[in-house]
């Protein structure tokens, strides 16, 4: 064998990039101490919670800026879950009764938004 072949077998490529590279012939203790493992786990957990909190804050910020879009998305999601679990006709019956309840509630509150909407819709104007 030549020297070049021995050099190639001694330097096998690593699958990860080490920040503290050591020569191939030297060995290092790669097992972290118990305290280091705990600190690493705590840091990983804190980082994950930061991601979750950041994502939640971004979603809430969007919901505050676009309330009607958010309301429509939530209503669409609930409607989709109802259609997939109960079926189309059962969901339509539930939606009809929710609409009737909303109309009665608006009339009792002294508002007629839904009634006026349907009045304009079917008046032919």
Predicted confidence (pLDDT) per residue in 60-109, tens digit: 888 888 888 888 888 888 888 989 999 999 999 998 998 888 888 888 88
Sign of the four-CA dihedral 99, 101, 103, 105? negative
> What is the C-alpha to C-alpha distance for residues 83 and 87, in angstroms, rounded to an integer?
5
Q: Which two tokens stand for residue 46?
A: 């804190």
pTM value is 0.44
Tabulate helix, strand, coil % of the chain (nearest 5). Answer: 75, 0, 25
Q: Which two tokens stand for residue 69?
A: 């879009």
Average pLDDT over residues 6-15: 60
């Amino acid at each position: 064998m030549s020297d070049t072949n021995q050099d190639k077998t001694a330097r096998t490529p690593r699958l990860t990039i080490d920040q503290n590279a050591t020569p191939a012939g030297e060995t290092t203790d790669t097992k972290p101490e118990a305290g280091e493992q705990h600190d690493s786990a705590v840091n990983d957990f804190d980082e994950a919670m930061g991601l979750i909190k950041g994502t939640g804050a971004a979603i809430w910020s969007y919901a505050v800026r676009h309330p009607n879009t958010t309301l429509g998305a939530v209503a669409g999601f609930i409607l989709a879950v109802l259609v997939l679990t109960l079926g189309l006709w059962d969901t339509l019956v539930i939606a009809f009764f929710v609409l009737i309840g909303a109309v009665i509630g608006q009339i009792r509150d002294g508002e007629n938004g839904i009634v006026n909407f349907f009045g304009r819709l079917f008046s032919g104007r």
